[in-house]
Amino acid sequence: MAPVTLPGLLVNNRQKFGDKKVALREKEYGIWQECTWEDYYEHVKNFALGLYSLGFKRRDKLAIIGDNRPEWVWAELAAQSLGGIPLGIYQDSVLTEVIYVIDHSDATIVVAEDQEQCDKILELKEKIPKVVKLIYTDPKGMRHYDDDLLLSFPAVEDLGREKEAIDPQLFEENVRNLSEEDIALIAYTSGTTGFPKGSILTHKNMLTMAKNLNIVDPKYEDDEFVSFLPLPWVGEQMVGVSTALYVGFTVNFPEEPETAMEDLYEIGPNLIFSPPRIWEGLSRSIIVRIRDASFLKRLVYNFALPIGYKWADFKFEKIRPPWYWKIFYGLAYIGVFRALKDRLGFSKLRSATTGGALLGPDVFRFFHALGIELKQIYGQTEISGISTIHRAGDVKYDTVGYPIPETEIKISDEGEILSRSPALFQGYWKNPEATEEVVRDGWLHSGDAGYFTEEGHLVCIDRVKDLMELSNGTKFSPLFIENKLKFCPYIVEAVVVGDQKDFIGVLICIDFKHTGKWAEEHTIPYTTYTDLSSKKEVYELIEKEVYKVNKTLPNGMKIHKFLLLYKELDADDEELTRTRKVRRTFVNEKYKREIDAIYGEDDTVRVETKIRYQDGRTSTIGTDLYICKIKDEEYYEAILKKKRWWSLGKDS
């Protein structure tokens, strides 16, 4: 009989693979440390029995905070094996968020990665009296701490070994007594409208999702996967934990979040699952590198890319390419695209997926042009992360694919996407009112607007509440325009405004790294982000990028004005969720003065505001923001025509 719980799969994989196969791999001090399935099992068993010795029992809650590490999944599986309920907290959460999640979940034990995370918990321990133990995994800096709450991860494992010596069957007896209906985890949503809600997901929910996803997007035992997205996010739980246990492939953990891309290159994964911001960042990075390349390399790239786009369009439209296009693309791939894929660490990549938000069609087409078979996943935390996915050989850049097996999707009379499946969550933790609001008659109300194409592909337009309408009645999706803007190499974030206004405006955040590099190359001095974003030359650079986007938009949806914000939108300032989604309502209220200025008569707006740095310090800045009005087409075409003959993609 197949295991019906995640710890049951671990026991099964230990019996199947033992010491013969690597289950987890972590990079420490530049060296990849391997953990076999036997090691995986032993760590989970010892930590589980250690928790048992500390009084952790069925339905108790275990909160975990820190970067992606083997200790995270050991702790998660250990809590589950005792019938307990694990939950994750984003490692960059501010104190108020940490307090809220721990208190709301009724967590009694917290596993924290290092000194920084322990300091957060100790600083507010008076506000979380339910917590009885704080277990840390990294001892660096913890030697002189003296608090009754504290206990090291190895010390808990030692307690487990002592317990096993007394009762050697206890661990596996607990695992056998688990049911598929037991709660596997509380997955907190991203919190786009306030504090996050805790979605209750059972073992049946997670394993049904893993099974059905694997049917349409197969993974294999010898696959390699790099876990670099936050483990509290259901997307990482979906692939890096549940599917990894279901299939038995190897999960790799980078040394630090900042080294994830370099470590990914070393592993050369077969699987990758990332939200749009990762793919957007990669596309910007490639475009900027090409613009910095030599004349000959730019020439070859600019010759090859249109061939790649044409080849991608053949696939999207299911047209068999003529024989000569096969030769053209073969030459482009050998000459350009193969090397680019290798530089990204994608030379062995077989399954590339994106989810968590909609990826812009420009970015999607770009990666298909390079020969990366990127597929879109659509779903919500409340349905274990996935409802639809593109099928191999049937990808449309403007859709999110077909429903996975055992999943039903329909469109309501109001145009809202509704779904149901065995992976549907059990409700929100301690919030029955919110549960009744989103689940009605067994259907999950996503809050997303969409429709089906003639071929049966699902198209997700935007959040229903985010769809906008100009004063003349023209309806538009701000997300569609924002995704096009974020394909530009110098734009990292954009917030479209214009509901019930005469025209569309945009608040834009420049990409500090790439725009700063451009400024240095053009001998434009600057000091801070605020200083750089206020430069006249930078405004002109972004203005031309906005014009290029306007050329691809229908007449009624073109951008008329924009301004560059003096700072990047930040999750610590509540402008973004921890999964980097814009909290649109909050941003519209916070930047109301700037938005009003876009629709005013003045060319500038004076802003004085308080900003918060990563170390907690705050300061007040005052600056004048320029309101840029897009000029007529002839103006930009004259500029672009003048430069096009020699630049070959080096500059805008």
Residue 615 has pLDDT above 70, yes or no: no
pLDDT band at 35 (very low <50, low <70, confident <90, very high): very high
Q: What three-state secondary structure class fits 32?
A: strand
Q: What is the pLDDT of residue 93?
A: 81
Highest mean predicted confidence (pLDDT) among 60-74, 120-134, 479-493, 583-597: 60-74
| Backbone region of residue 496 per phi and psi (left: phi > 0; alpha: psi in -120 to 50; beta: other values) | beta
Residue 635 has pLDDT above 80, yes or no: no
Residue 323 has pLDDT above 90, yes or no: yes
Say if residues 534 and 624 touch (Cβ distance below 8 Å). Answer: yes
Q: How far apart are CA 35 and CA 41, in angstroms?
A: 10
Same domain, 526 and 602: yes
Same domain, 436 and 301: yes
Supply the DSSP symbol for 333. Answer: I
238 part of a folded domain: no
**Structural tokens at position 199:** 């979605």
Say if residues 586 and 604 touch (Cβ distance below 8 Å). Answer: no
191 against 332, higher pLDDT: 332
444 part of a folded domain: yes
* pLDDT tens-digit map of 512-532: 999 999 999 899 999 999 999
631 part of a folded domain: yes
224 part of a folded domain: no
Q: What is the pLDDT of residue 640?
A: 59
Say if residues 450 and 463 touch (Cβ distance below 8 Å). Answer: no
pLDDT band at 612 (very low <50, low <70, confident <90, very high): low
Q: What is the pLDDT of residue 312?
A: 92
Same domain, 483 and 564: yes
Q: How far apart are CA 160 and CA 171, in angstroms?
A: 10
Highest mean predicted confidence (pLDDT) among 134-148, 151-165, 188-202: 151-165
Same domain, 61 and 79: yes
Same domain, 375 and 423: yes
Q: How far apart are CA 484 and CA 499, in angstroms?
A: 19
CATH of the domain at 25: 3.40.50.12780
Strand 31-36 vs strand 22-28: parallel, antiparallel, or unpaired? antiparallel
DSSP H stretches of helix in 82-139: 95-105, 115-123
Out of 432, 464, 496, a domain closes at 464
* pLDDT tens-digit map of 532-553: 999 999 999 999 899 989 988 8
% of the chain at pLDDT higher than 70: 95
Say if residues 214 and 208 touch (Cβ distance below 8 Å). Answer: no
Same domain, 474 and 457: no
Q: Which residue type is seen at 585?
A: T
pLDDT band at 641 (very low <50, low <70, confident <90, very high): low
Q: Which residue type is seen at 6?
A: L
Residue 190 has pLDDT above 70, yes or no: no
Please count the other Cβ atoms lying within 10 Å of the Cβ belonging to residue 485: 24
Range 477-495 average pLDDT? 91
239 part of a folded domain: no
Q: How far apart are CA 516 and CA 524, in angstroms?
A: 9
- 71, 146, 143: which is closest to 112 by C-alpha? 71
Same domain, 170 and 24: yes
Same domain, 434 and 533: no
Same domain, 373 and 289: yes
Q: What is the pLDDT of residue 645?
A: 42
Out of 464, 486, 503, a domain closes at 464
Q: What is the pLDDT of residue 554?
A: 87
Domains identified in the chain, total number: 3
Among 191-195, 403-407, 444-448, 617-621, the least confident range: 191-195
Starting at the edge strand that comes first in sequence, how are the strands of the sheet with 85-89 ordered? 150-152, 133-136, 107-112, 61-65, 85-89, 183-188, 198-202
H or E element at residue 450: strand 443-452
Residue 647 has pLDDT above 50, yes or no: no
220 part of a folded domain: no
This prediction's pTM: 0.88
Q: How far apart are CA 31 and CA 35, in angstroms?
A: 13
Query: Which structural domain, as residue segments, surrounds residue 414?
Result: 276-464
Q: How far apart are CA 460 and CA 462, in angstroms?
A: 6
pLDDT band at 649 (very low <50, low <70, confident <90, very high): very low
pLDDT band at 361 (very low <50, low <70, confident <90, very high): confident
**Structural tokens at position 431:** 């919030």
CATH of the domain at 636: 3.30.300.30
Out of 146, 178, 210, a domain closes at 178
Q: How far apart are CA 458 and CA 411, in angstroms?
A: 10
Cβ within 8 Å of residue 292, ≥6 positions away: 517, 521, 650
165 part of a folded domain: yes
Q: What is the pLDDT of residue 648?
A: 43
Say if residues 451 and 464 touch (Cβ distance below 8 Å). Answer: no
Q: What is the pLDDT of residue 617?
A: 64
**Structural tokens at position 288:** 């900027």
Q: How far apart are CA 509 and CA 491, in angstroms?
A: 6
172 part of a folded domain: yes
* pLDDT tens-digit map of 497-510: 999 999 999 999 99
Q: What is the pLDDT of residue 192?
A: 53
Same domain, 484 and 393: no
Q: What is the pLDDT of residue 73?
A: 97
Same domain, 445 and 499: no
Same domain, 423 and 493: no
* pLDDT tens-digit map of 549-589: 998 888 888 999 999 999 998 887 888 887 778 888 889 99
Q: First CA to last CA across the chain, in angstroms?
A: 61
DSSP H stretches of helix in 129-201: 153-166, 170-176
% of the chain at pLDDT higher than 90: 68
Supply the DSSP symbol for 500. Answer: T
Strand blocks (E) in 312-436? 351-354, 374-378, 388-389, 402-403, 408-411, 416-420
* pLDDT tens-digit map of 199-248: 999 999 999 999 999 999 999 999 999 998 899 999 999 999 999 999 99
**Structural tokens at position 70:** 């083997």
Range 113-134 average pLDDT? 91
